[in-house]
Amino acid sequence: MFVELLGQHFVHTALLAGAVVAVVSGAIGVFVVTRGASFAVHAISELGFTGAAGALVVGIDPVLGMIGGSLLVGLVLGLLSLRGRERDSAIGAVLAFGLGIGVLFLSLYQGYATEATNLLFGSIVGVSDAQLRALAIVAAIVAVGIAVVYRPLLFSSVDPEIAAARGVPLRGLSVAMFLLLALTTAEAIQVVGVLLVLTLVITPAAAAQLLTVRPTSALVLSIAIAVASTEGGILLSLLQPGPTSFFISALSFAAYAAARIVRARRVSGRAPARPRLRARRRSSAPPAARQAQS
Partner 1 sequence: MSAASPVVSVDSLALAFGDRLLWEGLSFDLGPGELLAVLGPNGTGKTSLVRILLGLLEPTAGRVEIEGCPPREKCGSVGYIPQQHVFDRDLPLRGRDLVRLGLDGHRWGFGRLDGEEHDRLEETLAQVGAAAYADAPIGRLSGGEQQRLRVAQALVSDPVLLLADEPLLSLDLAHQRIMIELLDARRRGAGTPVVFVTHDVNPVLQSVDRVLYLAPGRWAIGSPDEVLTSETLSGLYRTEVDVLRVRGRVVVVGTPDDQHVHHVEDGH
Binding-residue pattern over the window 33 to 72 for partner 1, x denoting contact by CB under 8 A: -x--------------------------------------
Which CB, 6 or 148, lies closer to partner 1?
A: 148
The nearest distance, CB 268 to partner 1, in angstroms, is: 14
In the region spanning residues 199 to 218, those forming contacts with partner 1, defined by CB under 8 A, are: 209-210, 212-215, 218
Among 96, 280, 285, 286, binds partner 1 (CB under 8 A): 280
Q: How many other C-beta atoms lie within 10 A of the C-beta of residue 144?
A: 11
Q: State the greatest distance between any 2 C-alpha atoms of the chain, in Å, as a whole number.
A: 78
Burial level of 123, CB count in 10 A (0-12/13-18/19+)?
A: buried
The nearest distance, CB 216 to partner 1, in angstroms, is: 8
Site for partner 1 contains 284 (CB under 8 A): yes
Instruction: Give yes or no for a contact between 102 and 50, defined as CB atoms under 8 angstroms apart.
Output: yes
Site for partner 1 contains 287 (CB under 8 A): no
Among 19, 104, 143, 149, binds partner 1 (CB under 8 A): 149
Phi, psi of 149 (to 5 degrees): -95, 0
CA distances from 171 to 92, 93, 101, 155, 166 (A): 22, 22, 29, 13, 14
Helices (H) and strands (E) in the chain, counts: 15, 0
193: left (phi over 0), alpha (psi -120 to 50) or beta: left
Instruction: Give yes or no for a contact between 181 and 32, defined as CB atoms under 8 angstroms apart.
Output: yes
Binding-residue pattern over the window 161 to 190 for partner 1, x denoting contact by CB under 8 A: xxxxxxxx----------------------
Site for partner 1 contains 273 (CB under 8 A): no
The nearest distance, CB 255 to partner 1, in angstroms, is: 16
Site for partner 1 contains 271 (CB under 8 A): no
Binding site for partner 1 (CB under 8 A): 34, 147-152, 154-155, 158-159, 161-168, 209-210, 212-215, 218, 274, 277, 280-281, 284
